[in-house]
Structures are given as C-alpha cells and as structure tokens.
Structure 1
Amino acid sequence: MTATELDPSPVAARFRDQVRADVQRLAEQGRALRVVGLISQEEGPAATYARYARRGFEDVGIGFELRRTTPAEAEAAVAAANTDRDVDGIFLYYPLSDRAGDRWLRELVDPRKDVEGMHSFWGRLLYENTRFVDPERTVRAILPCTPLAVLKLLEAAGVHSDRADAPLEGVTATVINRSEVVGRPLAAMLANDGARVHSLDLTGSLTFEPAVGRHAHDVRSSDIDRRAALAASDVVISAVPSRDFELVRAEELKEGAVCVDVAEIANFDASVRERARVVVPRVGPLTVAMAARNLVRLASARRRP
C-alpha cells in the first residue's frame, strides 16, 4: 500500500469561497471586516504563521493588521483591540509571553472577537458539547480553528460514518500531545463526534470516550501506551513541537490508518506512507480558512437585533 497525500490547500479553497461570499454579503450591508494579529517575534514559526494568515484573510476580503508588542505590553495591546470598534477579530501569535502569560492573554480576548475559539467561554461549550450559544439554536458556537481544520480534513479523507449526529462513530483515534491549544480540544471534538480517542502526552494517557448515547464525551485515566494505542487506531494525529520526539513509524500503525501531522516539524517517519491509507502532511492553510469562517460567524452574530 502506498498512501495518498491529502493536500489541505484545495480543501481550504472550498471554504474560502464560502467565506468570500459571506464577506461580500456583509460588505453590501456596509460592514467591512477587519482582524488584528498580535505578535512579539520578528522571526520563527509565529512570524511565518502571521504571513500566511495575512494572505489568507486578505484573499477573502478581510482586512488584516499585524501589531507588534512585547510581553510587558501584551495585556494593553489586547485591551486596545477589544475596545476598538473597527476590529472584528483578534488573533494571538504565540508565544507572546511565557506559557502562563499566554494562557492569561487568551482569557483577556473578548469572546465576541475570538476568531481562534480559545477563550474559556467557547471552551466550556466545547467540553460540554453545546453546539449553539442561544436556546433558539440560531447562533453556532465557535470552535478552535486548528482542531476544526483537522476534522474537516478527516472528512475530506473519507473518515466518517453514516450518522449525521455522530460522524466519527466507530472510529478509534490517537492524538499525540495534549496541549490546551490543539491536542486537548481536538480529542474532545473527535469524541463529541463519536470517536474513541487515546490522548498521549508526556504526563501520561487519557481516553476520551465518545459522546454517542449521551450529551457529552467522558474522559478517563488510561494505562494504554503508545504501541497499543497506535496499533488500534484508524486515525493518528500528532502535534509535538519538538525535534526530540520519536517519529511515528510504519510498523507502529494499523494497516490503512489516516495520519495527520499538525506539528511545525515532521512527526511522522517517511515509512508511514507504506502502511497508511492517507497522509496529511500539514494543516496550516485550512486553519486560516477556519479562522476566517469563525470571524464571519462572530461578526454576523453581533449584527443580530
């Protein structure tokens, strides 16, 4: 078996077309959308991501301004963007501070402008599997843009069941790295859609049991190790930002698995293409498209009477 490589760019293009039409609709109503990105680094992954984001937002007609700040000035920069009536969305490019400081900055972003979907307001809805903000179910909850991009790529790879309310029912997945930005919300989103998810991290293993038959997923401690988790998984997603990470190899995988690399550096050995069915080498283009989609939803909700 030789794996098919799934390029995220054509998938992202389809979503950008939809977003572009929505942006045009808002423009015809007199609303020009604008995002502010806050960054503290001149070079590195954050700066690269910001350049891609600018192109992605501007491609669909959304204005993008990158504001440089320092760790000491970051809180004030977030506050200024929150209160700026001409700013519809805020994007933070990490690290802006240290880990605790970045967590605090995420909480300072106005949830109504949080295009990344990382504020605890949105996190609570995610972990409770609440899909709408209002009782009338007219305003959809915002989901973290990178995990959401992964779900859309799995759909494009043909990973789905016949149940609309549980599109990943029967799927077993492993997510390597339980970060608050990608790994943990992604595991929850997969489980909310019906998958059983083994979450592996340096601190140990957890299993996210699917939300099929109940309102939300359940999380339990697990003693499953990497070998057993990978061997059982139809989907393997890795997001480890370290060159010391032991790459996932072909012999560890279940035959026909779908492998998604979310990390800035490769997490999968080239040999996985001999055993996997689909390999997704990057997610970035679709992450930006999901952020733009989130922005349109936030802006549209704020315009409701």
Structure 2
Amino acid sequence: MDEHHRPWTGTDMTARVIDPATLAQAFRTEVSADVVRLSAERGRPLRIRGLLSQAEGPAHTYATWAQRGGASVGIDVVLSHVAEGEAAAAVAAANADEDVDGIFCYYPLAGPLDDPWLRELVDPRKDVEGMHSFWSRMLYENRRELDTGSRAILPCTPLAILKLLGEAGLGGSTAQAPLEGVVVVVINRSEVVGRPLAAMLANDGAEVISLDVSSTQLFEPAIGRHAHGVRDSDEDRRSALARADVVITGVPSRSFPLVGADEIAPGAICVNFSQFRNFDDSVHDKASVFIPRVGPMTVTMAMRNLVRLAAL
C-alpha cells in the first residue's frame, strides 16, 4: 500500500476515532436541499413507508433512527407494524401507493425463509435499501449508471462504510481504481452487508479477503476487467489480518473472538458495524483510525437513496 492510501504512517499514537454522526450531518445538508426541491415539485413531503414486525429489538431501534433521520432532512418516514403473514400484502400496498416514494423493510419481517423474497417484491424504483436484485445485479456487474445516465442505487450500510473510509483518508488519485493496492479484510459475508461491501471495494480496485466461520473467499480487484472476480482461498484469519490495510467486522455475536492489536498491521483502519463489539480495546494503540459504528451514516445513505429514486 502506498502513501496515497494510508492515512497514517507513524509508530506511536492512539487511533483517531471517527464519529459517523459528524459525517452524516454533512451529507444531510446536501440531502435536505434536494428534499426541499423534490417536495415542492410534488406538492407534499417525500415519504418512506417503513414496514416493521417487532415492537422492540434491533429492527425497532433501526426504524426509530430512520424516522428521526428522515425528519431531520424533511422526509416523512411512516412506520407500519405488520404481522408476518401480512408482510407481502403490505409491500404490495406500498408499491401501489402514489404518495409513497420509498419503502424500507426492517428485517426480520416475514421470517428467515421469506425475507429474501420480500426484497424482490419491493418495486426497485422505491427500494431505498438498494437490496432488490435489479440493483444487486448492477452492483455485481459493476454497472454504475442506468441507461438514462442516473446513478445506480447502492445498499445503505456498504455505501455508508465506503463514505466513512473516505473520511478516514483511504483512497488514491486514480478515479478508475481509487483503492488499487489496498488490502481489506471483511469478516461478514451476509447478502445484506458483507458480500455487497466486498464487491464494492473490489470494484474500486481493492483486494478483499472475505472471512466467515466456514471459509475464505478472495474478491479480486476489477483492474484490467470490467468487474471484480471471486474465488475460494485457503488464507486464514491471522494471515489475512496481518497484511490488511483495512479490517471491517460485522459479526452479530457476543462469542466472536475479538480482533486484537496483536493481529492487525500497524496503521490499519478498523471498522465495526455489528451491534456487538468485535474489536479488543488494544487495537486503539496500533490502528490509525477506529470507526466503532456505522448506523447514523446508514440512515443518511437511505435518505440519499430516496432522493435519487425520487429524481428518476
């Protein structure tokens, strides 16, 4: 990794901690101006229909944050509590409602077997999460614009992490491959965050090592070809972490063996997007940047996605 990418090359300092709320505020200023214009064109506020089945827990907390985040930029986030058997009908009703500009599903909604199908029922033109296969296919094929020239919608949390990495100083001078030469470890391979995040990083030129409990995959950078490649790897956690410029974790378990300072490279950027702590406190003495959470930026990227969808 060259000096264009690494934000710090010192040997004796405590990691800079980035609060995602601060960066989110800068993006909200931009989003607010677009919301005012688009709301005036419609003669009403932009509106998101949030579908929620839980009265408490992480999904309920996320929905509450989204409602507050929407209000902060002038977007109405209207929450509807639905039973498992009513989720598909609720999505269909929101799709058909001309006064609904975006749909936000707070999973789990219909259960582990049906939730992936629910993502396919959401009209892509109202998909503020960017999880419909229409948008996923564009991401994995590294197609960044629609035929109309409008920007493709990207999933909220991976997009939030990329923006936070930029704030951390990660990036080079090459527009086509700004992350060329960067090695990233992602410990999470979910279809919601880990896999699309690895693809987005590799499409920007990074070498991404994706770790989960049973296997390792290497996302090869999209340099000299249109999109990234994926292959199995036999690299283990210790080897991968030792050479990573960036370590991103999202393991939703209290039993996850915490990533410690003895495992990471000096000056690494560490990002935790799990609701649980995935890093040992010791990493602060070896990392250059530590990002302890992503939530406020995720909500802001969802509102940004809504503005882009409303302008299609």
Which band: TM-score by shorter chain?
A: over 0.9
Which runs of 5 or more structure 1 residues have no equivalent in the other structure? none
Which runs of 5 or more structure 2 residues have no equivalent in the other structure? 1-12
Cross-structure match for 1:46: 59
Name which of 252, 256, 264 aligns with 2:267. 256
CA shift, 1:100, in A, is: 2.0
Cross-structure match for 1:150: 161
CA shift, 1:42, in A, is: 0.4
Q: Structure 1: how far apart are the matches of 2:91 and 2:304?
A: 21
RMSD: 0.8
Alpha-carbon displacement from aligned partner over 1:42-71 (angstroms, at most 9, x marks no partner): 001111111110010111001110000111
After superposition, residues 292-303 of structure 1 pair within 5 angstroms as 292-301=303-312
Is residue 185 of structure 2 the alignment partner of residue 177 of structure 1? no
Cross-structure match for 1:6: 18
Is residue 73 of structure 2 the alignment partner of residue 60 of structure 1? yes
Cross-structure match for 1:18: 30
After superposition, residues 99-138 of structure 1 pair within 5 angstroms as 99-134=112-147, 136=148, 138=149
CA shift, 1:147, in A, is: 0.1
Query: What secondary structure is seen at the aligned counterpart in 2 of 1:266?
Result: coil
What TM-score do the two structures reach when normalised by structure 1? Answer: 0.97
Query: Could you tell me which amino acid in structure 2 is paired with residue 7 of structure 1?
Result: D
Q: Structure 1: how far apart are the matches of 2:242 and 2:290?
A: 16
Q: Structure 2: how far apart are the matches of 1:114 and 1:28?
A: 22
Query: What secondary structure is seen at the aligned counterpart in 2 of 1:105?
Result: helix
Query: Could you tell me which amino acid in structure 2 is paired with residue 6 of structure 1?
Result: I
Cross-structure match for 2:92: 79
Report the identity percentage. Answer: 63
Q: Structure 2: how far apart are the matches of 1:93 and 1:155?
A: 27
Conserved in 2, the CA contact under 8 Å of 1:147 and 1:186? yes
What TM-score do the two structures reach when normalised by structure 2? Answer: 0.94
Worse-matched range after superposition: 121-130 or 202-211: 202-211
Conserved in 2, the CA contact under 8 Å of 1:198 and 1:205? yes
Conserved in 2, the CA contact under 8 Å of 1:161 and 1:170? no
Query: Could you tell me which amino acid in structure 2 is paired with residue 183 of structure 1?
Result: G
CA shift, 1:27, in A, is: 2.2
